[in-house]
Structure 1
């Protein structure tokens, strides 16, 4: 009998990456059985905006879409101050073209906008004028909401602003089938709204 091997989730890490933005996502993906592998510009250690030091599991050049189930791009000061992270946006283009999902939050959405990846997809970010400053052509596709998943292209694209790490996680967990239906709703209510009553739903489902 054949079994399906679950491919890892790849989480980009680079100097000044916003470590708080993807913590809910990676923690609950891991609890759901997904391996998380970090990807840096090189294999050299990077340091988050919170001072955490991370030695990447692999360098960006070694990452292939066919070896992954998702690419996560967190925000970072470098998205708006240099072109150093442009290779990650180009890698996101490779992933989407190959039908592999990408999830970007905060400054990473601006990186995708500069790469032209938001011109034809529904998306969100911190605020509309933040993306407008990139000069991109997707302003009419901007959605003023907590997080957006667009499935109109070959690969699904999740976007969110910096104040919505829980909504960002909700979209990713739904996309990869970790939680769904009332369980996903309860998860969101617990971690976003501190709704203690939602815990019972998760406990019954074995997700607590």
Structure 2
């Protein structure tokens, strides 16, 4: 578990997994607002060689996956990518998610990353969501009874969402880490998901 002793505070670093074909838009709200509320966002790749996102962005990882330790992190973010369904290349990231969850450090997975966690067995006994029940069922996992038809789901230290819900995904991440709380978190979600002008006034009051 993360230490609660003030002499050993919870890390303020969030790690974003990056790999070829990652879906740029799925974690943008989460990482931007975590950075704006005092978290450092560091990227982690299979190696430190550059990767290229689905949108064509070239990203050079800050560190390699082999150097990532749960105790140095507040959260592991796993975006979707074509590679999640194209073989086992990203399986090591699902293994890292297991290590994080075993250490009591949160993991947030969206879109194809949920299928990676399903293959790793991490959704067999946890409430979760994803693109569709059929999509996760195709992995052969045993967690169908725990699937929730929701925009995003937080189950203890695990956050999941489908590909069309980057804002709801960010809401759960921001709430889990305490970046926004209560009425502020609600106002943030109403502004970015519902375009509620009253929410803008609340956030800037």
**Which TM-score applies when normalising by structure 1?**
0.94
What is the DSSP-based 3-state SS (H/G/I as helix, E as strand, rest coil) of the residue aligned with 1:170?
helix
Q: How far off its partner does 1:149 sit?
A: 0.3
Q: For the Cα contact (< 8 Å) 2:19–2:45, is it kept in 1?
A: yes
Q: Summarize the alignment of residues 20-39 of structure 1 with structure 2, pairs less than 5 Å apart.
A: 20-39=25-44
CA offset digits 1:76-97 (Å, max 9, x no partner): 0000011100000000000000
Residues in 2 aligned to 1:121 and 1:149: alpha-carbon distance in whole angstroms: 9
Between 169-178 and 1-10, the greater mean CA deviation after superposition: 1-10
What is the DSSP-based 3-state SS (H/G/I as helix, E as strand, rest coil) of the residue aligned with 1:9?
strand
- What is the number of residues matched between the two proteins? 200
What is the DSSP-based 3-state SS (H/G/I as helix, E as strand, rest coil) of the residue aligned with 2:154?
strand
Residues in 2 aligned to 1:177 and 1:144: alpha-carbon distance in whole angstroms: 25
Residues in 1 aligned to 2:134 and 2:159: alpha-carbon distance in whole angstroms: 19
2:3 alignment partner in structure 1: none
1:185 alignment partner in structure 2: 186
2:138 is the alignment partner of 1:133: yes
CA offset digits 1:91-140 (Å, max 9, x no partner): 00000000000000000000000000000000000111100000000000
For structure 2, list consecutive stretches of 5 or more residues without a partner in the other structure: 1-5
> Which of these residues, 83, 102, 117, is aligned with residue 88 of structure 2?
83
**Which TM-score applies when normalising by structure 2?**
0.95
For structure 1, list consecutive stretches of 5 or more residues without a partner in the other structure: none
2:52 is the alignment partner of 1:51: no
> Which of these residues, 72, 79, 101, is aligned with residue 67 of structure 1?
72
Q: Summarize the alignment of residues 113-192 of structure 1 with structure 2, pairs less than 5 Å apart.
A: 113-151=118-156, 156-192=157-193
